[in-house]
Structures are given as C-alpha cells and as structure tokens.
C-alpha cells in the first residue's frame, strides 16, 4: 500500500477522467492521496474532489509560492479562513520559488513566514516547495527556530548539502518522478538518504516518471518512482512501501 503524498488530482487536467485516474491508482496499490492547495482559485475544486473521494483523498491548505503576487495579503486572508471550516492534514503548499517568481521574492518570504505561523498554531506539518531558494528558505527556518515544526521538502531538487541541511531540521524529503530521469542528480541523492526520511509523491499532473516523461502524470505512476528507489536502496517494493507509508502516516498523523 502506497500513499501519494503530493498530487493535484483536483485540477482541470483530470476533469474528464478523474474516476478512472482514481481507479488506476487503487489498482496499483496507491490507496491514499494527499492534495495540496495552490491558491484561492483552487479551493472549491479541492473541496469537491476531497468530498467526493473522502475515503482516499485528504486535503491540505496553503498558498503556493508561485501564486504570491501583488494581492498576496488577500490570498492569505482567504486561505487562513479555511482553517475555521475544515480539517486539513498540513499547511501547503508553501515555500519559495525564485526560478519562476523571482520578482515577488520578498512577498514570498512574508507568505512563507505567515504559513509557518499557521502551522505552529495548528500543530500541522508544512509542505515546502523550494526551487532555487534553499538558501532563503533555510534562512527563514533558522530565524524562526521552531523545534516543534515538522514538514517535508516536496519535489526535492537540491544538492547533497541541501538535502543534509533539510534533514537536520528533522524534515522529510519528497521524491518524485525526477528520480527516474537519466540526466537528474536525484537518484544519487536518494542513494545517500535514509529510507526513514523519504516520502513518495507524484506531483501529478506534473513531472511524470519514466516511461511517461513529458505526458500527464497521475497517482498510479507512483509505482515507477517506488520501483526506482527500491532498486537504488536494494530493498523489496513491499519493504519500501511499508517504510515510506509509515513515514507519511507519522508526519501527517493519518
Ligand atoms: Zn505541488
């Protein structure tokens, strides 16, 4: 049994065949899917999907760093209100992306710190999106120094030093289809990570693993990511599933 710890199955790219996508995930042993929010514009579809598939899909709530623009205070207000109405398993996704959204770096930092505060107040873990921003994110985490804060660096794309630093906070590392890419350094990094600190994710509909690279991703493809990590660590798929599912259950209290 696997948990896809990061998948956007509520997005429009699944509106024609969401039922089949869920079926295929279940057939491949992906029995639970964790859905991060993006911004105020995705809240309704996130709720619709997690209500319809409430036995297998669990929602998170947060503001994605690439949606942090001029109106980010309005976005944060709208998103913070959701915590009064619903239960979420995490604050996410949050973080900083200086590759796609460099002009709003300062606003992203404020939004990130705000969401860390929500996590602290609610006791929830945070799901961090970090792209060309490890230095800035570590700076925020070092400044806040909140020992109780738990979370994951999802879609990890850093180097070995950044992985070690991420682990030093007690955080998990989210590994997705990039681990199957021939030109990626992620397989090498995974080799040096303890399995006890790895979470499996697809980040669907993005970043399909081989042999589907470039096509729409879906949660059933998690088994290709799992297969690659099991091969790197020389463990059985069952062993890998048990360990990584346990990791996700501990972090998200599910
Ligand atoms: Zn995401």
Q: How far is the CA of 81 from the centre of ligand 1 (A)?
A: 21
Q: Report the distance separating Cα 198 and Cα 254, nearest Å.
A: 16
Taking only the tens place, the pLDDT of each residue in 146-178 is 889 999 999 999 999 999 999 999 999 999 999
Q: How far is the CA of 45 from the centre of ligand 1 (A)?
A: 15
Q: Average pLDDT, stretch 193-205?
A: 98
Q: How far is the CA of 46 from the centre of ligand 1 (A)?
A: 13
74 to 26, 63, 81, 94, 146: CA distances (angstroms): 38, 11, 11, 16, 26
Q: How far is the CA of 98 from the centre of ligand 1 (A)?
A: 15
Q: How far is the CA of 182 from the centre of ligand 1 (A)?
A: 22
Residue of 169, 175, 141 lying closest to 157 (CA atoms): 175
Q: How far is the CA of 101 from the centre of ligand 1 (A)?
A: 15
Taking only the tens place, the pLDDT of each residue in 63-121 is 999 999 999 999 999 999 999 999 999 999 999 999 999 999 999 999 999 999 999 99
Neighbouring C-beta atoms of residue 233, cutoff 10 Å = 16
Q: How far is the CA of 43 from the centre of ligand 1 (A)?
A: 14
Taking only the tens place, the pLDDT of each residue in 15-69 is 999 999 999 999 999 999 999 999 999 999 999 999 999 999 999 999 999 999 9
**Of the options 3.10.450.50, 3.20.20.140, 3.40.50.150, 3.40.1400.10, the CATH number for the domain spanning 2-205+225-252:** 3.20.20.140
Q: How far is the CA of 35 from the centre of ligand 1 (A)?
A: 8
Query: Is the full-model pTM beyond 0.85?
Result: yes
Residue spans of the domains in the chain: they are 2-205+225-252
Q: How far is the CA of 145 from the centre of ligand 1 (A)?
A: 25
Q: How far is the CA of 97 from the centre of ligand 1 (A)?
A: 12
Chain centroid to Cα 91, Å, comes to 10
Q: How far is the CA of 38 from the centre of ligand 1 (A)?
A: 8
């Amino acid at each position: 049994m696997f948990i896809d710890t990061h998948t956007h199955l509520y997005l429009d790219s699944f509106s024609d065949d969401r039922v089949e996508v869920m079926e295929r995930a279940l057939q491949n042993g992906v029995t639970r899917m964790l859905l991060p929010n993006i911004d105020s514009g995705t809240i309704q579809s996130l709720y619709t999907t997690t209500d319809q598939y409430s036995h297998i899909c669990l929602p998170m709530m947060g503001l994605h760093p690439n949606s942090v623009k001029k109106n980010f205070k309005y976005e944060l207000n709208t998103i913070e209100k959701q915590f009064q109405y619903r239960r979420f398993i995490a604050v996410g996704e949050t973080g900083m992306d200086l590759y796609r959204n460099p002009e709003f770096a300062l606003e992203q930092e404020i939004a990130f710190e705000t969401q860390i505060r929500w996590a602290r107040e609610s006791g929830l873990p945070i799901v961090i999106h970090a792209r060309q921003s490890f230095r800035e994110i570590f700076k925020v985490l070092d400044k806040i120094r909140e020992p109780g804060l738990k979370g994951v660096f999802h879609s990890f794309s850093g180097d070995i030093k950044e992985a070690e630093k991420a682990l030093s906070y007690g955080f998990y590392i989210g590994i997705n289809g990039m681990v199957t890419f021939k030109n990626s350094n992620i397989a090498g990094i995974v080799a040096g990570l303890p399995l006890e600190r790895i979470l499996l994710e697809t980040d669907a509909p993005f970043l399909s693993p081989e042999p589907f690279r470039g096509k729409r991703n879906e949660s059933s493809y998690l088994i290709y990511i799992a297969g690659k990590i099991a091969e790197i660590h020389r463990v059985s798929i069952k062993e890998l599933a048990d360990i990584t599912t346990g990791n996700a259950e501990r972090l998200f209290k599910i």
